[in-house]
Structure 1
Amino acid sequence: MKEDDPENRPKLRYFRYAVISFTALIVLSLGFSLIPADPPAPADPPFSEQARVAALQDSLDLRAAAGRLSASAEADGDANPTAADETVTLLTLQARALLSPADSSPEEDAPGSATPLPSGQSGPAAEAATTAEPTLAGLASALSASGVQRLTDAAKSDGGMARLLAGAGTAQLLAAEDLAAAAGVAQDTLPHAGTAAPPAAGALAPDATASSCPSPLPEPGDAGREPSAAGRSAVLGSALSAAVATEQQSLYAYQAALPRLGAGDAPAAEAFLGQHRELAAQAAAHSRAACSAPPAQPPGFVLDPGFLAAPRDGLARLEVAALPAYGDVIAQADGGLRSWAIAALQSATRRAAHWNGGVGPVPGLLLDQDQLPELPASPAPASAGT
């Protein structure tokens, strides 16, 4: 019989081996396909979110240190813990402005208990004030370092976050100087010493040079697309034109106030008038570089009825009202122009503070404190995880 032919047996044996091998290959391939692959590592959060988390963490740590300092002053019978109390208020409002719904809340006032910050955003500015018994001098230095970091991050963040960080950092620098004065420490020893000078006359940013302006007419088929370069330039040009108008009004107001100010206030007013003159020229140049014609200097402005009777208060109101104009430029600009606007915001804030104007917790940003989220029982950031 052919089935029993010895010559056929090796062929059948090879066929069985092939079938078994093929079956095993199918089983292995199915098994590998059913094993889930390792999930990809989460992407790093955007820089603006990392900067927000770092700012929030520093504000919470410094707030905790200021709170302990205030409590210690009261326990020791210090009748004037005002500097620490005002710092707690400032940092509380800043933390509320920086909160995100995704933030978690570990133990409040417990240094080191918060969710770790992203790599490179560990909040070193607050370490000195939270790892040891706080002092006014130590808190002033830590607050100054935090302000410097906020301003550095503002230069690289997205528009809205840049405005928030620039205002928060500016307020922290001024608060650090107040704490240093209360502690009897020279301000030139603070980390930000020498970094907050007003923009120099004619010091235009590298990107504020004359350039060909885009056509205001839309390109064919642009409907529904992202705003064109012309549209973005128009928004920035509008913000710069508003800054020019603000400086023109300030020039007029200071000239009207100078003859009516006391001898003690006149030198500062003269210096501030010079700053406004420089800023008006710089804002006009930036406006032209952004393809927007700056407004012409009007012959005069209508001042508040009580301005001439109380020029010091009038100048304070005027400087405070000018802050949002530079906040708008910070939000719309980038590069050297944003750096110029941040410096202009700082100088405007200092002028307002000189006249005892209330600049708020975030100069340059109009905040409705009643609309800010309340700090949870145990606040801390988490949305930019590790």
Structure 2
Amino acid sequence: MNDDSGRKRRPASYLRYGLLALAAFLVLSLGFALIPRESPAPAVPTFSEQARAAALAETLDMRTASQQLANGSSGDRRQLFSHTVTLLTTQARALLLPGAGARSTAGQSGSAGPSATASSGAAPSVTPTSGTATLPALVATLSKSGKARLVAAERADGGMARLLAAVGTAQLLQATTLAQAAGTPPPALQAPVATQRNAATACSVATPSGSSTGSSGSSTGSQNGAPSGTGGQPAPAADPADNATLAAALDRVVRTEVETVYGYQVALTRLDGSAADQAAALLATHETLVGQAEAYTRVHCVLVPPREPGYTLGSSFLQKPAAGLASLESGTLPVYGDLVALSDGETRRWAVSSLVAAAQRTMRWGSDPGPVPGIVLDTALLPDLPRPAAQSSSQTDG
């Protein structure tokens, strides 16, 4: 009986063990399925996005300080600070993320707008800056911020580089204006310098192996503006219709500077006194810029565009040559802005410094280069700034 009963119990024991194992497996399976997966680490923002965010934060802080100074001033001082608030407000709106609705019209190249390369995301809230603002502190902050934007523009992506260069340029110019009102030294700005590289050497590096490069070209070739003496064939002159390439941007810079030289030559015959002295000095500057632009064009193995025999100037230019020169200088701003966006390395550094210098020359003739020199901006399409955090919370509590 014992043997028989023992033999009969074994199948039931196996069945029970099997059911327990199945139940344990199901419990473990459900447990693993219910454990949430760890969320992936957020992507590290690009350099362009970090530079944009830093520019926006500092611009908002300076805007708040400028508003404090405007509220505590009167007369010309109040108007000066109010202009600073308007300038920084426009810059902050342009620096907002494209997801907030920022749009612009670029310069002559028609390339992407100022915030075309920024990452998407939510707009930051604005928190008023605590403390009492002072004019010397605002000058120092504007100068420091402007220089930081120009340095960041040398590394940022094309569209963002243009925006950062424009913002930095305007902040430096405004720092100079405020410094004059405060009686403090204006921020030091470095003048653009010509390339130190030789066009023939650069083209020989770009030439496929096996091609030979000759000596420098004759004086006739140099006068014509074409890079001669290279074994590799240089690229043809830029097609004006192809406006979103480095070659086209360099072509526009050369043509614009040559036309500006012609305008100064004509204006000099109609100016006198200090205006004539200033025009003579700036004519020499633009003649140097023509040579620099042609040198950078050869560095990139692109044919230098031929010089036109002359240009048509309107009657208003002949009647008011100083205002005409201001218009010519203002017209160079989007051209250099395009070059900033479409170049890199040494060429971009030259373009950034040339943009700053062009904005300064525009102001010397009494014209305003605007809040973002180098960008033709439609402010009506920019997003509004978010409300200050303190104001939002007070309205919520009410």
TM-score class, shorter-chain normalisation, is 0.7 to 0.9
Q: Could you tell me whether the CA contact under 8 Å between 1:243 and 1:325 is conserved in 2?
A: yes
The one of 193, 206, 224 aligned to 1:212: 206
Select between 334-343 and 274-283 the one with higher mean Cα deviation.
Answer: 274-283
TM-score (norm. length: structure 2): 0.75
Q: Could you tell me whether the CA contact under 8 Å between 1:68 and 1:134 is conserved in 2?
A: yes
Structure 2 equivalent of residue 94 of structure 1? 91
Report the Cα distance in structure 2 between the residues aligned to 1:176 and 1:105, rounded to whole angstroms.
26
Report the Cα distance in structure 1 between the residues aligned to 2:243 and 2:346, rounded to whole angstroms.
15
Q: Could you tell me whether the CA contact under 8 Å between 2:197 and 2:299 is conserved in 1?
A: no
How far the C-alpha of 1:178 sits from its partner, in A, is 0.7
Structure 2 equivalent of residue 157 of structure 1? 156
Deviations 1:232-270 (A, max 9, x none): 998110111000001101111122222432221333323
Report the Cα distance in structure 1 between the residues aligned to 2:286 and 2:249, rounded to whole angstroms.
17
Report the Cα distance in structure 1 between the residues aligned to 2:293 and 2:50, rounded to whole angstroms.
31
Structure 1 equivalent of residue 323 of structure 2? 313
Higher relative contact order (CA 8 A, sep 6+): 1
Write the letter of the residue equivalent to 1:262. D
Q: Give the 3 Å change call, closer, same or farther, for CA 261–54 of structure 1 in structure 2.
A: same
Q: Give the 3 Å change call, closer, same or farther, for CA 59–260 of structure 1 in structure 2.
A: same
Structure 2 equivalent of residue 221 of structure 1? none
Report the Cα distance in structure 2 between the residues aligned to 1:18 and 1:271, rounded to whole angstroms.
99
Q: Could you tell me whether the CA contact under 8 Å between 2:195 and 2:296 is conserved in 1?
A: no
Q: Could you tell me whether the CA contact under 8 Å between 2:66 and 2:82 is conserved in 1?
A: yes
For the residue of structure 2 that corresponds to 1:197, the secondary structure is coil
1:279 aligns with 2:289: yes
Select between 95-104 and 6-15 the one with higher mean Cα deviation.
Answer: 6-15
The gaps in structure 1 that reach 5 residues or longer are 112-129, 215-229, 381-386
The one of 233, 239, 242 aligned to 2:252: 242
1:83 aligns with 2:84: no
Deviations 1:138-171 (A, max 9, x none): 1011111111121122122211111111111100
Q: Could you tell me whether the CA contact under 8 Å between 1:105 and 1:379 is conserved in 2?
A: no
Select between 36-45 and 170-179 the one with higher mean Cα deviation.
Answer: 36-45
For the residue of structure 1 that corresponds to 2:336, the secondary structure is helix
Write the letter of the residue equivalent to 1:85. S
CA RMSD of aligned residues (A): 3.1
Structure 2 equivalent of residue 169 of structure 1? 168
Structure 2 equivalent of residue 71 of structure 1? 71
Write the letter of the residue equivalent to 1:163. R
Report the Cα distance in structure 1 between the residues aligned to 2:122 and 2:389, rounded to whole angstroms.
8
Write the letter of the residue equivalent to 1:293. L
Q: Could you tell me whether the CA contact under 8 Å between 2:243 and 2:249 is conserved in 1?
A: no
Structure 2 equivalent of residue 145 of structure 1? 144
Structure 1 equivalent of residue 192 of structure 2? 199
Q: Could you tell me whether the CA contact under 8 Å between 2:329 and 2:359 is conserved in 1?
A: yes
Structure 1 equivalent of residue 24 of structure 2? 24
How far the C-alpha of 1:5 sits from its partner, in A, is 7.3
For the residue of structure 1 that corresponds to 2:179, the secondary structure is helix
1:255-266 aligned within 5 A: 255-266=265-276
For the residue of structure 1 that corresponds to 2:373, the secondary structure is coil
Write the letter of the residue equivalent to 1:58. E
Select between 313-322 and 47-56 the one with higher mean Cα deviation.
Answer: 47-56
Deviations 1:316-350 (A, max 9, x none): 00000111111111111122211111111111111
Report the Cα distance in structure 1 between the residues aligned to 2:163 and 2:329, rounded to whole angstroms.
19
Q: Give the 3 Å change call, closer, same or farther, for CA 233–71 of structure 1 in structure 2.
A: closer
Report the Cα distance in structure 2 between the residues aligned to 1:203 and 1:71, rounded to whole angstroms.
50
1:372-383 aligned within 5 A: 372-378=382-388
How far the C-alpha of 1:290 sits from its partner, in A, is 3.0
Report the Cα distance in structure 1 between the residues aligned to 2:4 and 2:152, rounded to whole angstroms.
87
Q: Give the 3 Å change call, closer, same or farther, for CA 234–57 of structure 1 in structure 2.
A: closer
Report the Cα distance in structure 2 between the residues aligned to 1:239 and 1:148, rounded to whole angstroms.
24
Write the letter of the residue equivalent to 1:305. S
Q: Give the 3 Å change call, closer, same or farther, for CA 233–249 of structure 1 in structure 2.
A: closer
The one of 315, 322, 337 aligned to 1:327: 337
Write the letter of the residue equivalent to 1:46. T
Write the letter of the residue equivalent to 2:191. P
For the residue of structure 2 that corresponds to 1:264, the secondary structure is helix
Write the letter of the residue equivalent to 1:94. Q
For the residue of structure 1 that corresponds to 2:140, the secondary structure is helix
TM-score (norm. length: structure 1): 0.77
Q: Could you tell me whether the CA contact under 8 Å between 1:238 and 1:292 is conserved in 2?
A: no
Q: Could you tell me whether the CA contact under 8 Å between 1:55 and 1:98 is conserved in 2?
A: yes
For the residue of structure 1 that corresponds to 2:173, the secondary structure is helix
1:300 aligns with 2:307: no
Structure 1 equivalent of residue 368 of structure 2? 358
Q: Matched residues, percent identical?
A: 44
Q: Give the 3 Å change call, closer, same or farther, for CA 361–379 of structure 1 in structure 2.
A: farther
Q: How many residues align?
A: 335
